[in-house]
Chain A
Amino acid sequence: MKRGLFFVVFFIVSLVVYSQQKFTLSGTIRSERTGETIINASIRTDKGEGVASNEYGFYSIILPAGEYEITWSAVGFEPVTAGVTLNTDISRDVFLPDEVQNLENVTVSATGKGRTITGTQMGVERLTIKEVKNIPMLLGERDILKAIQLLPGIKPAGDGNSGFYVRGGSADQNLILLDEGQVYNASHLLGFFSTFNSDAVKDITVYKGGMPAQYGGRLSSVLDVKMNEGNNQNYELSGGIGLISAKLNLEGPVQKGRSSFLLSGRRTYADAFVPLARDTSVRNSRLYFYDYNAKLNFKLNERNNIYVSGYLGRDHLKLDQFGINWGNVTGTLRWNHIFNNRLFSNTSFIYSDFDYNININNENNDLDIYSKIRDLNLKQEFQWYASSGHSLRFGLNSIYHKIRPGEVTSSGTTSYNNFYLQDRYSWDNALYITDTWKVSPRLNLTYGARLSSFSVLGAGDFYNIDENGRVTDTLTYSKGQVVKNYLNPEPRLAASFIINPSTSVKGSYVRNVQNLHLMSNSTTGAPTDKWLASTNIIKPEIADLFSLGWYKNFSENRYEFSTELYYKTMQNQIDYRAGADVFTNDAIESQILFGKGRAYGWELFLKKRTGKATGWISYTLSKTERKIEGISEGEWYNARQDRTHDVAIVFNYQLGRKWNLAANWIYYTGDAVTFPNGKYVIDNQIVFYYTKRNADRMPAYHRLDLGATWLLKDREKFSSELAFSLFNAYGRENPYLISFRQSETDPSRTEAVKTSLFKFVPSLSYNFKFK
Chain B
Amino acid sequence: MSAGVKSILIMAGLSLLVLACERVITVDIQKVPGKYVVEAVINDDSTCWVRFSQTSAFSDTLNLMGVSKANITMTEEGGRTVVLTETAGGRGIYRARFSGRPGHTYHLKVEYDAPAANGHTGGRQLFTATSTMPEKVMLDSLFVTERVFLGQKRLIGTVRFDDPPAPGNAYRYIQYVDGSEEATVFVVKDDLFNGRTVTDELLIFNDEYTLRKCDQLRVVLQCIEQPVYLFWYSLNQSSLGSSQSASPDNPASNIKGGALGYFSAHTVSARNIAIFPDSTCSYPAD
0/1 interface trace, chain A 614-647, chain B, CB 8 Å (1 if under): 0000000000000000010000000010000000
Q: Is A481 an interface residue (CB 8 A)?
A: no
A524 to B27, CA, bound (A): 22
Which candidate, A56-64, A206-214, A279-287, is the interface stretch facing chain B?
A279-287
Q: Is B75 an interface residue (CB 8 A)?
A: no
Tell me the chain B residues, 21-64 only, with Cβ under 8 Å from chain A.
Answer: 21-32, 34-35, 37, 39, 51, 53-64
Complex interface: chain A residues within 8 A of B196 (CB): 415-417
A520 to B192, CA, bound (A): 22
User: Measured between C-beta atoms, what is the minimum distance from A420 to chain B in Å?
Assistant: 11
CB atoms of B243 and A756 under 8 A apart: no
Tell me the chain A residues, 538-583 only, with Cβ under 8 Å from chain B.
Answer: 575-579, 581, 583
CB atoms of B248 and A674 under 8 A apart: yes
Q: Is A115 an interface residue (CB 8 A)?
A: no
Complex interface: chain A residues within 8 A of B230 (CB): 579
CB atoms of A678 and B55 under 8 A apart: yes
Residue of A whose beta carbon sits closest to that of B148: A281
Complex interface: chain B residues within 8 A of A680 (CB): 35, 37, 53-56, 63-65, 260
CB atoms of A686 and B63 under 8 A apart: yes
CB atoms of A584 and B234 under 8 A apart: no
Complex interface: chain B residues within 8 A of A733 (CB): 21, 23
Q: Is A749 an interface residue (CB 8 A)?
A: yes
CB atoms of A522 and B6 under 8 A apart: yes
CB atoms of B16 and A189 under 8 A apart: yes
CB atoms of A752 and B27 under 8 A apart: yes
Residue of B whose beta carbon sits closest to that of A419: B192
Complex interface: chain B residues within 8 A of A583 (CB): 1-2
Tell me the chain B residues, 120-155 only, with Cβ under 8 Å from chain A.
Answer: 145, 147-152
Q: Is B191 an interface residue (CB 8 A)?
A: yes
Tell me the chain B residues, 197-244 only, with Cβ under 8 Å from chain A.
Answer: 197-201, 230-231, 233-235, 237-244
User: Measured between C-beta atoms, what is the minimum distance from A418 to chain B in Å?
Assistant: 9
CB atoms of A688 and B12 under 8 A apart: no
CB atoms of B12 and A190 under 8 A apart: yes
Q: Is B88 an interface residue (CB 8 A)?
A: no
Q: Is A102 an interface residue (CB 8 A)?
A: no
Residue of A whose beta carbon sits closest to that of B37: A680
Residue of A whose beta carbon sits closest to that of B3: A583
Complex interface: chain B residues within 8 A of A684 (CB): 181, 183
Complex interface: chain A residues within 8 A of B197 (CB): 415
Complex interface: chain A residues within 8 A of B62 (CB): 748
CB atoms of A417 and B251 under 8 A apart: no
Identify which of B5, B238, B261 contacts A578 (C-beta below 8 A).
Answer: B238
User: Measured between C-beta atoms, what is the minimum distance from A671 to chain B in Å?
Assistant: 10
Identify which of A360, A414, A579, A756 contacts B233 (C-beta below 8 A).
Answer: A579
Tell me the chain A residues, 280-298 only, with Cβ under 8 Å from chain B.
Answer: 280-282, 284, 287
- The contact sample of 10 A-B pairs, CB cut-off 8 A, is A360-B4, A364-B200, A365-B201, A417-B193, A521-B237, A686-B241, A687-B260, A733-B21, A748-B63, A754-B22
19 other contacts beyond A190-B12, A738-B27, with CB at 8 A cut-off? A317-B12, A364-B200, A367-B1, A417-B195, A521-B246, A522-B6, A528-B6, A579-B251, A583-B1, A678-B55, A680-B53, A680-B260, A688-B239, A688-B240, A689-B55, A690-B249, A695-B30, A696-B29, A755-B22
Top 8 closest A-B pairs, CB basis? A579-B234, A740-B241, A678-B55, A584-B191, A748-B61, A579-B252, A364-B199, A281-B148
